[in-house]
Amino acid sequence: MVQDLSTLTAFIDGEPMRFNDGDTVLKFIDRHRGRGHVPTLCDAPQLEPYGACRVCSVEVAMQEDGPRRVVASCHTPLTAGMHVFTESPKIRKLRRNIVELVLTDHPLDCLTCEVSGNCELQTVAAKVGIRQVRYPSGANHLNRSKDRSHPYMTSELSKCINCSRCVRACDEVQGQHVLSMHGRGFNARIIKGLDQSFMDSTCVSCGACSQACPTSAISDVFFSKSIEATRKTRTVCTYCGVGCNLNVATKGSEVLSIQAPTDSEVNHSHTCLKGRYAFKFVKHPDRLRKPLIRYNGHFTEATWEEAYDYIAKNLQRIKEEHGGNAVGGISSARCTNEENYLMQKFIRVGFGTNNIDACARVCHSPTAWGMQKAFGTGAATNSIEDLEYTNCILITGANPTEGHPVTGSKIKQRVMKGVPLIVIDPREIELVPYAKHHLQLRPGTNVALLDMFAYYILEAGLIDQDFIKKRCENWEEFEQGLRNLNLDESERTHGVPREKVRAAAIEYASAKGAMAFHGLGVTEHSHGSKTVMTIADIAMMTGNIGRPGVGVLPLRGQNNVQGAADMGCQPHQGAGYLQVNDEANHKLYEEFYGAHMSNEIGWKIPQMYDAALAGKLKALWIMGEDVVQTDPNTEHVKSALNALEFLVVQELFMTPTAEFADVVLPAASFLEKSGTFTNGERRVQRVNAVIPPIPGTKSDGQIVCDIMQRMGIPQADYTPDGVLAEIARIVPFFKGATWENLTDQGTQWPIKEGGIGTEILHVDSFKRGLGKFHFFRFQESKEIEKHHDEFPFILTTGRILEHYNCGTMTRRTGNAQIVTEDLLAIHPDDAAKKGIESGDMVRIFSNRGEVNMKAKISTEVKPGILYTTFHFPENLVNMVTSSECDEDTMCPEYKVVAVDVEKVPASSMPKKQRMMEIA
Ligand SMILES: Nc1nc2c(c(=O)[nH]1)N[C@H]1C(S)=C(S)[C@@H](COP(=O)(O)OP(=O)(O)OC[C@H]3O[C@@H](n4cnc5c(=O)[nH]c(N)nc54)[C@H](O)[C@@H]3O)O[C@H]1N2
Ligand SMILES: Nc1nc2c(c(=O)[nH]1)N[C@H]1C(S)=C(S)[C@@H](COP(=O)(O)OP(=O)(O)OC[C@H]3O[C@@H](n4cnc5c(=O)[nH]c(N)nc54)[C@H](O)[C@@H]3O)O[C@H]1N2
Ligand SMILES: [Mo]
């Protein structure tokens, strides 16, 4: 059958072209003729069409020779058979006039301006053929003041053309609403907040405005340099598990600037300030540049050969004297999949032990464990993109606008468009004012609250009987548990009025599709795994699994924490999550590696410390983790490291952990190496070296290969594609992955032959067959039982946007000018009782130790609750956290710490802090 051409096509300057449903005229032209064929000023691909500048005007007609009308192509819908004329004399004249008028109100040196190349106005002026401006400047805003308050962002509003791209980027991309257009006519101008500077306003420094600005009226301090770039490389951010794609401009080995690619499926032109700006740590003078060996208590610089010899000799000796089980490794969620794979291979093959772990232990190990128990797979069931299709968002114990900012802003955008949000968090996080329901529970009582939540779903008859019957097991036990709940007791325990819980539960369960996000406020508890399973219960009982817009989505923390576990950096499961103590798997691994391997589950990180203190663990290799600062109960960690005979630390910087090492190896950072990272939605993405390793350093992958070779373990040199090919042979869900077929957008595992990825898991059946319900009754944390009487406050700890975990990297960037220290949030009532004012130095003490920091009086916490972050070694908050941990996985209970607090008299303050006060 011959199809009517007009239903498939429209015409550009007489040529028939295929159009897609929902195209605007501009999108259609951009796709076929390339972006820029029709000049634009107020339009940007990441923003909604606006139709303000009219530079993108074209003529359209319904017949080739029919009557034409002039339209702004950016916001005019395309219809079948439409004829679009992009270059008629009338249009050319119109565009020239518009651009000339814009230039009249612009610095007159603009056409020869130095920032050219980055200035879209100049490109457009050239394109429409303007070389000079005929009219005298009537402008009265050429002397507007410049804003240089911020370490990264600047504004120079004399260059502003009032296109509103920055305002729209702030609203539509980030959702911060800092920028607005103030005044009318010639007086119209962009203001920040209440006409403040960037630093004084509520700006979160994401840079979406600077990326959107066509003229560098708002710019970033790095971007203007990018005109000198000789190369642009696409890679993936090193910070959180969102996995933002970055375009890095370089000149030789100098990193000039970072922007977000507009075509990235993960971050669509957006990043937070860490991804876009916090890269100066890479060339920081503090970077380790030589291997260091400790002789007689002092570090001495060494060559790589000397360091390798020294390590090989010591490890060999320890293995011979004490057996391979006296050796352990802590791998790094900051490193690539390939590097993590090699690290676990080195420990397992080299020493015949499964003593290998990674930071998921202190983070989302309960997620992996709990979701494996419930569904069979310990990873996000759905993609972040599903936010587009969901009807309700539940966030339990996560603070996405700070921890996963690009996902956080996507959530905010959806909520502003009317999707109801439920937040379960003891604090008023940034999203709370947007939320329909905030269940502000006492820290550590998730199980009590979520049981009640499930009870009300059951009571309201909002369960999905069909889903439960066909796809799940153990429902009866779960239902019985819920029916036996004592609601009065639950309410007393978690402290949220039951009607509020009921309303939120009904909201979630009556939505056509609901997504459940969770974070460390779920996992870092003695009942972490049990809470994860309860969230899975709630999703299953409402049929919120296996289709778009639903699911259970842990907001995985580190850039590659998902990958580190996938690659086998866990003591109970090898590469691909195969249980090491299962006979068939053990045989498979032994055959694959051609080596004797252990079939006993190895030590988890806290068990490694205990083993070190008991003299059983003699040597430890730590790749990229600062356990002294970030693991709980610092004094305990330090004594364990001291008890070791031999410690190797592979790092970018001399961290508090590296200070304990016998050998420190200088590693290359993410911008200096290639491999893959897997983000929190199972998306395996290519990391491409942007610059060569800084002199003296090597990629972690090559370091591990070198030492394997030195110790006689067969291993070729590090190549990302070579190691990936080996991974694909052993990790079942990487079967179809090759370096090439991962493409620029990455692929979500399981990856089938031909590189076909999987967006949604458990569509027809669960990985484990039937989804399994588990019922758990609330149990008070031992920390509270043991210490609450003596230490009556509950301290809970977490993150802020500007700093990242141990802070080695962000503290060596401009971020350190924005946030200078950890602060303790305390409720005004408690502060009054204790005589504390904002800015006072306070002492926080627990049965483990004490720290001093400044107080910030805030209603973000309820009375009795304290909150702080753990990014500054000067504060070292883990001095007070405990060794209590999740019953199933040993994830530390960072979120419930029994402490007391008091004001520190100025005279007893340590000198350094007094100096800070005075300054
Ligand atoms: N800017 C920035 N981003 C980061 C990081 C960083 O250091 N800085 N780190 C990365 C890493 S490693 C991780 S794992 C992620 C973590 O990201 P998130 O999981 O969002 O981390 P947190 O801020 O530690 O904790 C989340 C929330 O849990 C709440 N909470 C505390 N106790 C409870 C409780 O008992 N119940 C409930 N329901 N909530 C509770 C806290 O108030 C807090 O708002 O962030 C990643 N992204
Ligand atoms: N009180 C409290 N403590 C916590 C938490 C909490 O909520 N409260 N959260 C916990 C959580 S969830 C986590 S994940 C941990 C994180 O704790 P860590 O893993 O210790 O912290 P990071 O800052 O992510 O990075 C560790 C180190 O990796 C190095 N590094 C970065 N890139 C590379 C690389 O490519 N190669 C090598 N060799 N090194 C590299 C950095 O310099 C840094 O020193 O902290 C935990 N600690
Ligand atoms: Mo984490």
Break the chain into its structural domains and give their ranges: 5-128, 292-363+561-748, 382-549, 782-918
Q: Quote helix, strand, coil % in the chain, to nearest 5.
A: 35, 20, 45
Yes or no: say if 488 and 421 are a contact pair by the CB < 8 Å rule: no
pLDDT category of residue 427 using cuts at 50, 70 and 90: very high
In terms of C-beta distances under 8 Å and separation of at least 24 residues, what long-range contacts does 410-415 make, across chains too? Answer: 410/384, 411/387, 411/517, 412/175, 413/172, 413/175, 414/387, 414/388, 414/390
CA distance 632 to 891: 10
| Residue whose CA is at the smallest distance from ligand 2 atom 26 | 625
* Strand 218-220 to 897-903 pairing: unpaired
Among 362, 425, 555, 626, which residue has the most ligand 1 atoms within 8 Å of its CB, making it the best to mutate? 425
Rounded distance from Cα 630 to ligand 2 centre (Å) = 7
Q: Is 258 in the pocket of ligand 1 (CB under 6 A)?
A: no
Average pLDDT rounded to a whole number, residues 799-822: 96
DSSP E strands: which ranges in 126-223?
146-147, 153-156, 179-182, 189-192, 218-220
Distance 519 CA to ligand 3 centre (A): 9
Top-level class of domain 5-128 = alpha beta
Centre of ligand 3 from the C-alpha of residue 559, in Å: 9
Cβ–ligand 1 distance for 396 under 6 Å, the answer: yes
Characterize 544-566 residue by residue with b for buried, 16 or more Cβ atoms within 10 angstroms of its Cβ, and e for exposed.
bbbbbbbbbbbbbbbbbbbbbbb
Paired sense of beta strands 747-748 and 421-424, if any: unpaired
Say if residue 570's pLDDT is above 70.
Answer: yes
Assign 227 a pLDDT band (cuts: 50, 70, 90). confident
Residue type, 602: G
For residues 701 and 693, the answer to whether their CB atoms sit within 8 Å is no
Using the CB atoms, write b or e for 739-756: b if 16+ within 10 Å. Answer: beebeebbbbbbbeeeee
Q: How confident is the model at residue 1 (pLDDT cuts 50, 70, 90)?
A: very low
Alpha carbon distance 469, 484 (integer Å): 21
Three state DSSP letters for 425-486: CCCCCCCHHHCCEEECCCCCCHHHHHHHHHHHHHHCCCCCHHHHHHHEECHHHHHHHHHCCC
How far is the CA of 618 from the CAs of 307, 645, 659, in angstroms?
A: 19, 5, 18
Ligand nearest to the CA of 358: 2
DSSP label of 118: S
pLDDT at 133: 77
Cα 790 to Cα 106, 400, 574, 902: the distances in Å are 67, 34, 43, 14
Which CA distances in Å does 828 have to 53, 467, 831? Answer: 50, 48, 5
CA of 237 to the centre of ligand 2 (A): 15
Contact 544, 514 (CB under 8 A): yes
Mean pLDDT, the chain, whole residue set: 94
Mean pLDDT across 228-255: 96
Ligand nearest to the CA of 522: 1
3-state DSSP assignment of residue 856:
strand
What residue owns the CA closest to ligand 1's atom 6? 804
What lines the ligand 2 site, CB under 6 Å?
Answer: 332, 334-335, 359, 362-363, 520, 524, 557-558, 623-626, 630, 650-653, 655, 667, 669-670, 700, 797-798, 804-806, 808-809, 870, 877-878, 881, 894
Map residue 257 onto helix, strand or coil: strand
pLDDT at 110: 64
Task: Transcribe 398-418 into DSSP letters.
Answer: --HHHHSHHHHHHHHHHHHTT
Give distance in angstroms: CA of 85 to centre of ligand 1. Answer: 53
Task: Give the ligand with the smallest distance to the CA of 439.
Answer: 1
Neighbours of ion ligand 3 (CB under 5 A): 363, 557
pLDDT band at 117; cut points 50, 70, 90: low
Closest CA to 365 of 543, 524, 504: 524
Q: Read off φ and ψ for residue 873, nearest 5 degrees.
A: -65, -20
Task: State the Cα–Cα distance between residues 836 and 855, nearest whole angstrom.
Answer: 8
444 lines ligand 1 (CB under 6 A): yes
Element (H, E) at 75: none
Say how far apart CA 553 and CA 379 lie, in whole Å.
8
Q: State pLDDT tens for residues 378-387.
A: 999 999 999 9
Instruction: Please work out, in degrees rounded to the nearest 5, the angle formed at the alpha carbon of residue 625 by the alpha carbons of 619 and 627.
Output: 75
Q: State which of 626, 650, 670, 677 you would mutate to test the pocket of ligand 2, scoring each by most atoms of that ligand within 8 A of its C-beta.
A: 626
- At 88 the pLDDT is 93
Angle, helices 446-459/498-510, rounded to nearest 10 degrees: 60
The mean per-residue pLDDT over the stretch 742-751 comes to 96
Residue nearest to atom 25 of ligand 2 (CA): 625
- 667: pLDDT strictly greater than 50: yes
| Beta-sheet strand order (sheet of 747-748) | 675-678, 683-687, 747-748
From the list 594, 599, 593, the residue with the least C-alpha distance to 579 is 599
Q: How far apart are CA 435 and CA 599, in angstroms?
A: 49
Q: Which residue has a Cα nearest atom 16 of ligand 1?
A: 557
Q: Which of 911, 912, 902 minimizes the C-alpha distance to 841?
A: 902
Task: Determine if ligand 1 sits within 6 Å of the CB of residue 562.
Answer: no
- How many angstroms does the Cα of residue 805 sit away from the middle of ligand 2? 5
String of DSSP letters for 367-379: HHHHHHHHTS--S
DSSP 8-state class, residue 669: -
Taking the chain, what is the end-to-end CA distance rounded to the nearest angstrom?
A: 81
Q: Which residue owns the Cα nearest ligand 2 atom 37?
A: 624
**Nearest ligand 1 atom, CA 523:** 19
Instruction: Find the DSSP H helices in 711-857.
Output: 720-730, 782-787, 815-818, 828-834
462 burial level (CB within 10 Å; 0-12, 13-18, 19+): middle
Residue 425 alpha carbon to ligand 1 centre in Å: 10
Q: The tokens of 727 are what?
A: 């991974």
Q: How far is the CA of 804 from the centre of ligand 2 (A)?
A: 8
pLDDT score for 910:
46
| Ligand 1 mean position, distance from CA 93 (Å) | 56
CATH of 292-363+561-748, picked from 3.40.50.740, 3.30.2130.10, 3.90.105.10, 3.90.700.10, is: 3.40.50.740
Q: Which of 122-136, 255-269, 851-865, 875-889 has the lowest mean pLDDT?
A: 122-136
Task: For residue 376, give both structure tokens.
Answer: 């069979």
Burial class (CB in 10 A: 0-12, 13-18, 19+), 146: exposed
Q: Which atom of ligand 2 is nearest to the CA of 238?
A: 32
How many secondary structure helices (H) and strands (E) does the chain include?
Answer: 29, 36
Is any ligand 1 atom within 6 A of the Cβ of residue 420? no
Asked if residues 114 and 107 have their Cβ atoms less than 8 Å apart, the reply is no
**Ligand 1 atom with least separation from CA of 801:** 1
DSSP code of residue 191: E
CATH number assigned to the domain covering 782-918: 2.40.40.20
Question: Do residues 478 and 771 make contact, with C-beta atoms less than 8 angstroms apart?
Answer: no
Closest residue by Cα to atom 24, ligand 2, is 805
Please, which pLDDT band fits residue 913 given cuts at 50, 70 and 90?
very low
Q: Which ligand is nearest to the CA of 333?
A: 2
pLDDT at 472: 98
Amino acid occupying residue 547: R
Residue minimizing CA distance to atom 45 of ligand 2: 630
Residue-level pLDDT at 130: 86
Residue 548 CA to ligand 3 center (angstroms) comes to 27
Residue 766 pairs in a beta bridge with 769
pLDDT for 525-552, tens place per residue?
Answer: 999 999 999 999 999 999 999 999 999 9
Q: How far, in Å, from the CA of 395 to the mean position of ligand 1? A: 11
Separation of alpha carbons 281 and 810, rounded Å? 7
Split at pLDDT 50, 70, 90, the class of 4 is low
pLDDT score at 187: 79
Which residue lies with its CA nearest to atom 19 of ligand 2? 625
Taking a C-beta distance cutoff of 8 angstroms, is the pair 420, 431 a contact?
no
- Quick one: how far is CA 209 from the chain centroid? 20
Nearest to 485 by CA among 457, 448, 460: 448
Classified as helix, coil or strand, 9 is: strand
- Enter the DSSP assignment of 200: T
**Percent of the chain scored above 90 by pLDDT?**
87
pLDDT for the residue numbered 908: 56
Q: Which two tokens stand for residue 655?
A: 């961290």
Cα 636 from Cα 313, distance rounded (Å):
28
115 class by beta-carbon count within 10 Å (0-12 exposed, 13-18 middle, 19+ buried): middle
Nearest CA to ligand 2 atom 17: 630
Specify the CATH architecture of the domain 382-549.
3-Layer(aba) Sandwich (3.40)
**Euclidean distance between CA atoms 435 and 433, whole angstroms:** 6
Residues 485-520: pLDDT tens digits?
A: 999 999 999 999 999 999 999 999 999 999 999 999
> What's the confidence (pLDDT) of residue 911?
43
pLDDT classification of 111: cutoffs 50, 70, 90: low
Residue 108 has pLDDT above 70, yes or no: no
Query: CA 627, CA 625: separation in Å to the nearest integer?
Result: 6
